[in-house]
Structure 1
Amino acid sequence: MNRRDFLQVAGMGTAAMWIPLSAMSRPISPELLLQPMDIAKNKRLADAALNAAKSKGATYADVRIGRYLNQFVITREDKVQNIVNTESYGVGIRVIADGCWGFAAVVDANDEKTTAQAAEQAVAIAKANARLQTEPVQLAPQKGAGEVSWKSPIKKNAFEIPIKEKADLLLSANAAAMKNGANYVNSLLFLVNEQKYFASTDGSYIDQDVHRIWPVFTVTAIDEASGKFETRDSLSAPMGLGYEYMATNPKDKVSGITTRYNTGYDILEDITAAAKQAKEKLKAKSVEAGKYDLVLDPSHLWLTIHESVGHPLELDRVLGYEANFAGTSFATLDKWKTKSFKYGSNLVNLFADKLQPGSLGAVAYDDEGVKTKRWDLVKEGVLVNYQAIRDQAHIIGEKESHGCCYADSWSSVQFQRMPNVSLAAGKTPLSVDDMIKDVKKGIYIIGDGSFSIDQQRYNFQFGGQLFYEIKDGKIAGMLKDVAYQSNTQEFWNSCAKICDERDYRLGGSFFDGKGQPPQSSAVSHGSATARFNGVNVINTARKI
């Protein structure tokens, strides 16, 4: 993830509070948000492009017609700061000609002539690029899907909910925070709808309607005597759900400290706790540096998974084809070929998944028309696979793509992107309370914070939102100024226990940055609470 090319909203400082500039395409009225794309028209436009590409010598072509809708409801304390609706619509055409890729895109395409001309341009670009091509593109075979449709299994379309209802909910949350001791509070509701039509010379005509939602906030508490302040961000996860995510109020607790948000999010409960916890952080004890056993909540662990597993196992980084946003990867092919490289302890099973209900990456087909699936990356601690798309699969001996190709816009060329990458829950029944009872000297970390990782995705440092000292199996009070340092292999090999499926939850981000020009994708990472023994913890307090 990276904040380059993102717009910071309302002074909010977490990754959740940054909006990609590409989303700010053009304003659109609320009533137009609810108009669906015309599938019959899309097929005509696509067929014109595919036929034009083939007539000019393309051996393969695909067409993506996309309508990308975003809505932002932004508040601060007792005021609505902004309401933004945006739309981006156009057609992207990718071809192979003379063994080389070519791509062209056109905005607001409404007739077959326009898409045909764009296809011809893509072929011309491919033929020009082929003069520099050393090896022809090798595509993994893909059977055409025919005419199919898929939609996120939402219960309430968030775009259909009145703006007033959404704004009132955020203002009510802000009021609850102020009532419970917050000095400042910002909140934001971010909605996404991707209406995507894909067609290819393989014989696919795929219509997909993807919905995502993310409610986020930051509360700030100030110590008036010293002028110091502390913040606590929301523990919500962005989800591939509709507005029903805001309607469920789960009440199950984790160790009496925070609320679990599995399929529904109670923003009033979370923000009330956040205000109290931000005040508590002002009086918390500063951590003593040293070795600790870390008990990591899924609301925190998702980011560590993202940076130390998701990115280094992207095959283009492994091969050195991609180095933007924190470099390539230490997990090179020679390690995978040994079939014995210990990425983690025997408890560690990490998998990629584009099917998980409610996840940000859940779709039926990727942006190459490949049917999505689940596959293993690390099995019982051993590195077993990577993330690969159609023109990469042959490099690792795969006969088909993994189905993880994506573009963040019709105007961007699709390329290999991270699927949902998750840590499998433990097989033995284990609660968080039971895990903590077994810790002599440890820290329980909740929520994601700052992070840093090197150019090989190996050495890293992570912070968090809430830190609780564990002494002799009991929570002994709140800590602050905590960050832990390790390297990817050492960290995952220190994994000693994982809670069972009952504790499994998703975290994630709308803003996974990659590529040049940069693109942003949405991705989820699931886990249950896990324990990592003997991890180095540093004190991050500023020394004045």
Structure 2
Amino acid sequence: MKRRDFMGLSGLAAGALFLPSLPGFGHALVDPARLLEPGADVAQKKRLADVALNAAKSAGAGYADVRIGRYLNQYVFTREKQVQNIVSTESYGVGIRVLVAGCWGFASTSLVTPDSIAATAQLAVAIAKANHLVQKEPVQLAAQAGYGEVSWKTPIQQNAFEVPIKQKVDLLLEANARALDAGANYIGTSLFQVNEQKYFASTDGSYIDQDVHRIWPTFSVTAIDKTTGKFRSREALSSPMGLGYEYLTPSAAEQVAGPAGTELVGYKQRYDILADAALAGKQAKQKLTTKSVTPGKYDLVLDPSHLGLTIHESVGHPLELDRVLGYEANYAGTSFATLAWKAKGLPYGSKQVNIVADKLQPGSVGAVGYDDEGVKTGRWDLIKEGKLVNYEKIRDQAHIVGQKASDGCCYADSWSSVQFQRMPNVSLQPGAAKLSVDDMIKGVDKGIYIAGAGSFSIDQQRFNFQFGGQMFYAIEKGQITGPLEDVAYQSNTQEFWGACHSVCDQSDYRLFGTFFDGKGQPAQISAVSHGSATTRFNGVNVINTARKIG
């Protein structure tokens, strides 16, 4: 998946046309009932893992790890009054990684038998020995104590695969009806459900069994002026979540009212797709006659449903250590935040900017107990009071920055893919002082409130950028005065985060996320969340995206 496609899948009016980009595409199509059948038990997986580890050591590996993975996916697509597609997939296999004389080797197999696994381990060792002919520097793997036999599971209340497909379809079709009744001409709704059953074992002495669940309901509505041919759209304000089907059980206690004058609602651990679809239909129609923005400098008040994408691109990616070191230069660029840049002590943002990585954040799609090289996950500071203090790294990178341990940022999107450094959940911390969105807006003389993620562009060093959104509202003398259209803001990472004036408190904190963060060659995707409360940035350059130049 290309970086530019990051948000493309949130607008699924063409539902099934996006299937080649989805997790599990190319996996075996199965009956939905298959998704509820139990996989191999832990004892059986341990026996198979030991076959791999013993075969690798006997062939000459100094270190080896094995991942036995069962990946389950279900996607439901509807449009207006019909079902477009329902897809259920399963993939099961084994990936084995070895270290021989300082060189990595990797091989995988879908034939999960002792003989096949032993042969695959031997192949991985042979590949590592071949790599030794061209590798210039040996891999230095940070020490990692084994955990023995442990397990971790996403704390869901209801497995989405247990919910009858008819119930899911009925919900999506009702959302479509609500949007059409409110003024939309077209709507496409989608429900993504993912279950990763992963077993990891290594020669360090870890045997880790994990059961990871994710869900994402989303839609795109479009309204058309049939006289002029003009059209406008509005995407769902949902977020992918590390939750079960309970995410689609609305609860007023889990909602955050948008600022006065917007009708918007922010969602936490529960999402009301029916209410959001109805409002989206109304707002898409209103956009047809909404006035266009006047370019200039504005104070921006950014909702978490919008700010998450900016965090992803201008903080999450540039602090991936492999980008910093230049290893990812051929796929969506490197990073301005090099080790030399960090050593200068230059500010990444204002003192209000405190950004953390957290692989255990409740409800996040990136939450796991252990990463894909057996490291127990946790939380650490990336930016503290505006200063860059750390990066995101894995076991063979830690020594480069003088650290002795991995951050637990290793991930592979399949048993057949080699694990490598991926972005953890990266989130802006809420302000310590009590501050509501309405109170924040009262202090803005000339500004724009932005909700929802839209188009974006960022350069190869993750520095200069432009971001759009879904809904825009003018702020004049401390009040929202009405909607705007054709808004995008331009800045660079240092300038933008340096303009951070204030952050609302914990009561407004929400998650944004994606299932489809692309990286690597061959490309892999991963799921990641970004939390924040509504945040104000002063004096940001806003352009009009509808105006022609010249």
CA deviation vs aligned residue, 1:500-523 (integer Å, no higher than 9, x gap): 111110001000000001000000
Quote how far apart the aligned CAs of 1:198 are: 0.3
**Where do residues 124-273 of structure 1 align in structure 2 (5 Å cutoff)?**
124-250=126-252, 251-256=255-260, 257=262, 258-273=264-279
**Where do residues 308-457 of structure 1 align in structure 2 (5 Å cutoff)?**
308-338=314-344, 340-457=345-462
CA deviation vs aligned residue, 1:2-33 (integer Å, no higher than 9, x gap): 2669997996389x977625521120111110
TM-score in terms of structure 1 length: 0.97
Range moving further from structure 2, 439-448 or 17-26: 17-26
Are 1:537 and 2:542 matched, yes or no? Answer: yes
Q: Distance in 2 between the 1:527 and 1:420 partners?
A: 11
Q: Which residue is 1:512 aligned to?
A: 517
**Where do residues 88-103 of structure 1 align in structure 2 (5 Å cutoff)?**
88-103=91-106
Are 1:56 and 2:84 matched, yes or no? Answer: no
User: Closer, same or farther in 2 for the Cα pair 1:6/1:178, shift >3 Å?
Assistant: closer
Q: Distance in 2 between the 1:5 and 1:474 partners?
A: 33
Match of 1:178, SS state, is helix
Quote how far apart the aligned CAs of 1:136 are: 1.1
Match of 2:28, SS state, is coil
Quote how far apart the aligned CAs of 1:66 are: 0.6
Match of 1:47 among 31, 37, 50: 50
Quote how far apart the aligned CAs of 1:297 are: 0.2
TM-score in terms of structure 2 length: 0.96
Q: Distance in 1 between the 2:447 and 2:227 partners?
A: 31
Q: Distance in 2 between the 1:21 and 1:293 partners?
A: 37
* Contact 2:12–2:189 (CA under 8 A) maintained in structure 1: no
* Contact 1:245–1:265 (CA under 8 A) maintained in structure 2: yes
* Contact 2:11–2:219 (CA under 8 A) maintained in structure 1: no
Q: Distance in 1 between the 2:518 and 2:20 partners?
A: 12
Q: Aligned AA for 1:2?
A: R
User: Closer, same or farther in 2 for the Cα pair 1:419/1:503, shift >3 Å?
Assistant: same
Q: Distance in 2 between the 1:152 and 1:342 partners?
A: 36
Q: Which residue is 2:501 aligned to?
A: 496
Identical amino acids, percent of aligned pairs? 68
Q: Which residue is 1:2 aligned to?
A: 3
* Contact 1:249–1:264 (CA under 8 A) maintained in structure 2: yes
Quote how far apart the aligned CAs of 1:535 are: 0.4
Unaligned runs of 5+ in 1: none
Q: Distance in 2 between the 1:403 and 1:497 partners?
A: 31
* Contact 1:324–1:514 (CA under 8 A) maintained in structure 2: no
Match of 2:310 among 292, 304, 313: 304
Q: Which residue is 1:283 aligned to?
A: 289
User: Closer, same or farther in 2 for the Cα pair 1:3/1:531, shift >3 Å?
Assistant: closer
Q: Distance in 1 between the 2:52 and 2:157 partners?
A: 35
* Contact 2:11–2:220 (CA under 8 A) maintained in structure 1: no
Q: Aligned AA for 1:312?
A: P
Quote how far apart the aligned CAs of 1:114 are: 0.7
Match of 2:29, SS state, is coil
Q: Distance in 2 between the 1:484 and 1:187 partners?
A: 28
Are 1:32 and 2:34 matched, yes or no? Answer: yes
User: Closer, same or farther in 2 for the Cα pair 1:134/1:341, shift >3 Å?
Assistant: same
Q: Aligned AA for 1:318?
A: V
Q: Distance in 2 between the 1:362 and 1:83 partners?
A: 27
Match of 1:449, SS state, is strand
Match of 1:450, SS state, is strand
Quote how far apart the aligned CAs of 1:43 are: 1.1
Quote how far apart the aligned CAs of 1:35 are: 1.6
Q: Which residue is 2:467 aligned to?
A: 462
Are 1:69 and 2:75 matched, yes or no? Answer: no
* Contact 2:29–2:88 (CA under 8 A) maintained in structure 1: yes
Q: Which residue is 1:80 aligned to?
A: 83
Q: Aligned AA for 1:49?
A: A
Match of 1:464, SS state, is strand
Q: Aligned AA for 1:65?
A: I
CA deviation vs aligned residue, 1:221-278 (integer Å, no higher than 9, x gap): 1112211010000000000000000013335412142112011000011011101110
Match of 1:327, SS state, is coil
Match of 1:260, SS state, is strand
Q: Which residue is 2:479 aligned to?
A: 474
Q: Aligned AA for 1:374?
A: R
Quote how far apart the aligned CAs of 1:325 are: 3.6
Quote how far apart the aligned CAs of 1:540 are: 0.4
Match of 2:518, SS state, is strand
Q: Distance in 2 between the 1:295 and 1:326 partners?
A: 28
* Contact 1:7–1:20 (CA under 8 A) maintained in structure 2: no
Match of 2:121, SS state, is helix
Q: Distance in 2 between the 1:158 and 1:48 partners?
A: 34
Match of 2:300 among 276, 289, 294: 294
Quote how far apart the aligned CAs of 1:159 are: 0.3
Match of 2:356, SS state, is strand
Match of 2:168, SS state, is helix
CA deviation vs aligned residue, 1:313-345 (integer Å, no higher than 9, x gap): 00000000112442000000012223x220000
Q: Aligned AA for 2:89?
A: T
Q: Which residue is 2:118 aligned to?
A: 116
* Contact 1:506–1:525 (CA under 8 A) maintained in structure 2: yes
Quote how far apart the aligned CAs of 1:458 are: 0.3
User: Closer, same or farther in 2 for the Cα pair 1:471/1:353, shift >3 Å?
Assistant: same
Q: Distance in 2 between the 1:127 and 1:6 partners?
A: 41
Q: Distance in 1 between the 2:249 and 2:206 partners?
A: 37
Match of 1:463, SS state, is strand
CA deviation vs aligned residue, 1:437-480 (integer Å, no higher than 9, x gap): 10011000000000000010000000000000000011111100
Question: What root-mean-square deviation, in Å, do the aligned CA atoms of Structure 1 and Structure 2 show?
Answer: 1.8
User: Closer, same or farther in 2 for the Cα pair 1:474/1:86, shift >3 Å?
Assistant: same
Provide the aligned length of Structure 1 versus Structure 2: 541
